[in-house]
Amino acid sequence: MPSGKALKIAIVGGGLAGLAAGFELAEAGHEVELFERSRLLGGRATSFEIDGIEVDNGQHVFLGCCTEFQRFVERAGMGKNLYLQRRFEARVIARDGTVSVLRAAPLPAPWHLLGSFLRFSHLGMRSKVEIARALAAASRDGIADGTSFAQWLRREGQGEEAVRVFWRPFFVPALNVCLEEMDAREALFTLRTAFLSGAEAARFGYATVPLAQISEAAAQRLARVHRATSVASLELDGSTQRLRALTTTSGERHEYDAFVLALTPPQLQRLLGNPARYALPPLDAFTPHPIIDVHLRYFKNDLQDFDFAALIDSPVQWIFRKGVSYLCCSMSAADEYLRRTTDELIRLAWEEIRAALPPLRDALLEHSAVTRNVEATFSAPATLQRPGPQTSFANVAIAGAWTATGWPDTMESAVRSGLAAARYLIKEP
Ligand SMILES: Cc1cc2nc3c(=O)[nH]c(=O)nc-3n(C[C@H](O)[C@H](O)[C@H](O)COP(=O)(O)OP(=O)(O)OC[C@H]3O[C@@H](n4cnc5c(N)ncnc54)[C@H](O)[C@@H]3O)c2cc1C
């Protein structure tokens, strides 16, 4: 962009990627307008009211290593609304209700987890040795394109118990794909970044306010937010190879100097029509993966000193205590449960909860709701290079958690992609 000139910039898509891009550009002195098709901000990380209670569209966690997401929230003035563990600690519950805890000691990685791993009662010594060997291999191995994490685990001699009790409960929710479809490079990136890089990296964190509040705070920096306004088409200036204007579904036309398109692959495909014209890869090659969350409010007993836990051998991988007598049950890579009715999902989650948490065995379910996100995350086929922010039009950048940030489709990736798009536009005329 011409130095010193404040530009008028449109952001299409009010998820974390679009908001991070908009925030960065506004801070750099540009006039930023955001277009979001929903009345809510936050995209896939949002919240809304169900029966008078504001709930997240699904439980979102971040890890200590998600530094750009945390910095974004802090810059938006919402840092005090993020909880981050002082030390990594994860409670893991078996089907019979027995609990074992993985907890970091004040030692450098990877030794910080050694003591509690040796005491971890859900795994026999043989599985522990297998996992230790795999962790050692993970820190040195290169991976051939197209290798699934399941193949890598088999190659590293991981037995049934190690997969069932350790790899599946931690990695399926982290990447929202079953092990057979999981790209081994992404799984090893997560393992190295979260567990092997530093003792603080694996700490769990989550927002202590409904998620949409974070996005609302970030949007305060923008010149204008057009809610419930879907962008229907883009207008190219053939002579300058630049994008000139956008038109909304209600027919309003707006001109801008530059554009950030911060949409998911199918949404971007619909808007562009022909992604190749923008030098983008085929967007229908990205695969969506669902997440289901079951929200349960109960009365009678409550849980003491409980924040969250992983369940072994359960379709509910993680449960989070969201408030007094309120649990959120998260089901990742939930393809096979999508067709179940709301009642069936509630019954299933409630049975799993009562099996895992003895204090709730005689509790009564008071209120429940189910949120289904069919396109919760996207993965790229191993043969496809995820695109960066640049397009064939100098004044158009793309952003989105699915783009080439080096991270899987997460809030961290969304924020990184938005920052990359903003920097690309500011640098490139
Ligand atoms: C249930 C669930 C649980 C998750 N759990 C985690 C977790 O624990 N940790 C984690 O890090 N990540 C998690 N994720 C993933 C995370 O939410 C996403 O990676 C991230 O929010 C994606 O942000 P984005 O801005 O790239 O895309 P989106 O949030 O999808 O933003 C795209 C936006 O564009 C808007 N839009 C679409 N078309 C148009 C148009 N034509 N005009 C205007 N606007 C348009 C959409 O309405 C949307 O708001 C989860 C996702 C879900 C759904």
Per residue, the 3-state secondary structure of 60-98, as one string, reads CCEECCCHHHHHHHHHCCCHHHEEECCCCEEEEECCCCC
The mean per-residue pLDDT over the stretch 334-360 comes to 95
Which amino acid, one-letter code, is at 196? L
List, in sequence order, every residue forming a beta bridge with 231; answer none if it has no partner. Answer: 248
Architecture in CATH of 287-379: Alpha-Beta Complex (3.90)
More confident residue, 141 or 130: 130
Banded pLDDT at 54 (limits 50, 70, 90): confident
CATH code, 8-48+211-285+382-427:
3.50.50.60
Which is the closest atom of ligand 1 to the Cα of 401?
A: 26
**What residue's CA is closest to ligand 1, atom 2?**
58
> Is the predicted pLDDT of residue 210 greater than 50, yes or no?
yes
From atom 4 of ligand 1, which residue's Cα is the shortest distance away? 60
- Provide the token pair at 148: 């699934």
State how far the Cα of 145 lies from the Cα of 191, in Å rounded to an integer: 18
Same fold for the domain at 8-48+211-285+382-427 and the one at 104-200?
no
Residue 24 and residue 208: Cα distance in Å, rounded? 24
How much is the pTM?
Answer: 0.96
Please write the tens of the pLDDT for every residue from 257-293.
Answer: 999 999 999 999 999 999 999 999 999 999 999 999 9
d(CA 225, CA 53): 25
Around ligand 1, the residues with Cβ closer than 6 Å are 12-18, 35-38, 43-45, 57-58, 60-62, 230-231, 262-264, 267, 271, 291, 293, 373, 376-377, 400-401, 409-412, 414
Q: Which residue has the tokens 């190659």?
A: 155
Rounded mean pLDDT of 335-364?
Answer: 94
410 CA from centroid of ligand 1 (Å) = 9
Residues 55-64 have pLDDT tens digits of: 899 999 999 9
Q: Of the residues 260, 411, 415, 416, which should be mutated to test ligand 1's pocket, given the most ligand atoms within 8 Å of the CB?
A: 411
Res 98: pLDDT: 94
Q: How far is CA 390 from CA 7, 90, 190, 195, 351, in A?
A: 18, 40, 26, 32, 49
The domain ranges of the chain are 8-48+211-285+382-427, 104-200, 287-379
Query: Which pLDDT does position 225 carry in this prediction?
Result: 98
Residue located nearest, by CA, to atom 51 of ligand 1: 376
Q: Is 87 left (phi over 0), alpha (psi -120 to 50) or beta?
A: beta
- Of all protein residues, the one whose alpha carbon is nearest to atom 53 of ligand 1 is 376
> Is the pLDDT higher at 427 or at 403?
403
pLDDT reported for residue 429: 43
How high is the pLDDT of residue 305? Answer: 82
What is the assigned CATH class of domain 104-200? mainly alpha
d(CA 48, CA 369): 12
pLDDT per residue over 373-411, tens digit each? 999 999 998 888 999 999 999 999 999 999 999 999 999
CA angle in degrees (0–180, nearest 5) for 153-104-210: 90
Give φ, ψ of 366 to 5 degrees.
-100, -40
Res 50: pLDDT: 82
Average pLDDT rounded to a whole number, residues 206-215: 96
